[in-house]
């Protein structure tokens, strides 16, 4: 990091307004991290009311967030009883949130290298036996939104969908501990997944760095011009499908012009 970047970082990032960590969540109904930090008066009422002892009071390790509520799903996940949003006196937690399925405190991410089911599947495919393989499916079984938040692909590979609310129950129960968390981890809302971050930015950098190679990729006005020229008439482009397509729709006349 050069001096300019470092200055930018220290001056424009308010250390009081929170920083993110994997497997560290705000209670359900929490507003965006910035607004949450503005509103939370550290009264501990959400901590008090939680019947599962899921919410902990942040200690010194959380730096300036000390005293605010956090859920550490590796330790104890949120069981979505929805008692806590209601008691927050300042609305740092949305008082009107009662539906567990509308909670959005994070998204679980499965690490395909560590998940036992994925390893099992790979070994089946390649025939290389390591002895580690096991069918676990714990996350799928414990998720309160089975078949919605977690679906099984090919009947064996657990995949998280958009419906995941981030409760972290799968993290608490996953048997695989890795160097940073478990085989499934929750990324708190607002943190973003580091692997996807800056995708478009990186892509445009690649395009700029080697203009010769990407010269027939159209951009800006030229791209718009090209798109406007696409006509629905005339010769139809041929696409390859790996499934049968209907050439005509029953009851409709094919429009030959």
Binding site residues, another protein, CB under 8 A: 14, 16-17, 35, 37-45, 47-49, 51, 53, 56-60, 66-67, 87, 89-92, 95
What is the smallest separation between the CB atom of 82 and another protein, expressed in angstroms? 14
The span from the CA of 42 to the CA of 69, in Å, is 7
| 56 within 8 A of 62, measured Cβ to Cβ | no
Kindly tell me which residue out of 22, 24, 54, 109 binds ligand SF4, with binding defined by CB under 6 A: 54
Among 37, 109, 136, 191, binds ligand SF4 (CB under 6 A): 136
Q: Report, in Å, the least distance between residue 16 CB and another protein.
A: 4
Please provide the distance, in angstroms rounded to a whole number, between the alpha carbons at the two ends of the chain. Answer: 62
Residue 58 interacting with ligand SF4 (CB under 6 A): no
Q: Are 106 and 77 in contact (CB under 8 A)?
A: no
Tell me which of ligand SF4, another protein, none is bound by residue 191, counting a contact when its beta carbon lies within the kind-specific cut-off of 5 to 8 angstroms: none
Identity of the residue, 53 or 257, whose beta carbon is nearer to ligand SF4 in the bound complex: 53
Q: Please identify, among the stretches 124-132, 167-175, 231-239, 245-253, the one whose residues bind ligand SF4 according to the rule CB under 6 A.
A: 167-175
Of residues 81 and 206, the one with the C-beta less far from ligand SF4: 81
For position 42 contacting ligand SF4 by CB under 6 A, the verdict is: yes
Which option in ligand SF4, another protein, none does residue 25 bind, with CB closer than 5 to 8 A by kind?
none
Q: Closest separation between CB of residue 167 and another protein, Å?
A: 20
Residues 230, 7: Cα–Cα separation, whole Å: 48
Query: CA 20, 184, 78 angle in degrees (round to 5)?
Result: 65
Residues in the chain: 257
Q: How far apart are CA 183 and CA 119, in angstroms?
A: 11
Site for ligand SF4 (CB under 6 A): which residue of 22, 33, 58, 117?
117
Specify whether the CB–CB gap between 64 and 17 falls below 8 A.
Answer: no
8-state DSSP, 238: P
> Quick one: which of 112, 51, 96, 98 has its CA closest to 76?
51
Using the rule CB under 6 A, give the single segment among 157-165, 187-195, 221-229, 247-255 that binds ligand SF4: 157-165
Which of ligand SF4, another protein, none sits in contact with 59, Cβ below 5 to 8 A by type?
another protein
User: Dihedral angle at the C-alpha atoms of 174, 177, 178, 184, nearest 10 degrees?
Assistant: 10
Rounded Cα distance between 23 and 77, Å, is 10
Answer for the pair 190, 32: CB distance below 8 angstroms, yes or no. yes
Beta bridge partners of 107: 187
Binding stretches for ligand SF4 (CB under 6 A): 27-28, 40-46, 49-50, 52, 54-55, 69, 71, 78-84, 87-90, 92-93, 108, 110, 115-117, 136-139, 143, 145, 149-150, 158, 160, 164-170, 174, 176, 183-184, 186
């Amino acid at each position: 990091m050069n001096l300019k970047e470092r200055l930018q970082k220290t001056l424009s990032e308010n250390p009081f307004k929170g920083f993110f960590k994997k497997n560290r969540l705000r209670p359900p109904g929490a507003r965006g991290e910035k607004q949450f930090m503005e509103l939370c008066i550290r009264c501990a009422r959400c901590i008090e009311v939680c019947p599962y002892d899921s919410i902990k009071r942040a200690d010194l390790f959380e730096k300036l967030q000390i005293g605010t509520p956090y859920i550490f799903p590796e330790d104890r996940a949120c069981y979505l009883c929805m008692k806590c949003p209601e008691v927050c006196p300042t609305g740092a937690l949305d008082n009107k949130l009662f539906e567990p399925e509308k909670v959005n405190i994070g998204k679980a991410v499965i690490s395909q290298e560590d998940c036992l089911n994925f390893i099992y599947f790979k070994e089946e495919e390649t025939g290389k036996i390591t002895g580690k393989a096991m069918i676990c499916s714990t996350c799928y079984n414990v998720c309160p939104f089975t078949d919605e938040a977690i679906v099984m692909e090919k009947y064996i590979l657990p995949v998280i969908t958009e419906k995941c609310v981030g409760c972290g129950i799968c993290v608490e129960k996953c048997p695989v501990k890795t160097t940073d968390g478990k085989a499934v981890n929750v990324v708190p809302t607002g943190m973003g997944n580091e692997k996807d971050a800056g995708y478009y930015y990186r892509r445009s950098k690649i395009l700029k760095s080697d203009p010769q190679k990407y010269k027939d990729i159209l951009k800006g006005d030229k791209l718009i011009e090209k798109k406007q020229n696409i006509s629905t008439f005339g010769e139809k482009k041929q696409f390859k499908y790996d499934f049968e397509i209907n050439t005509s729709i029953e009851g409709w006349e094919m429009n030959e012009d």
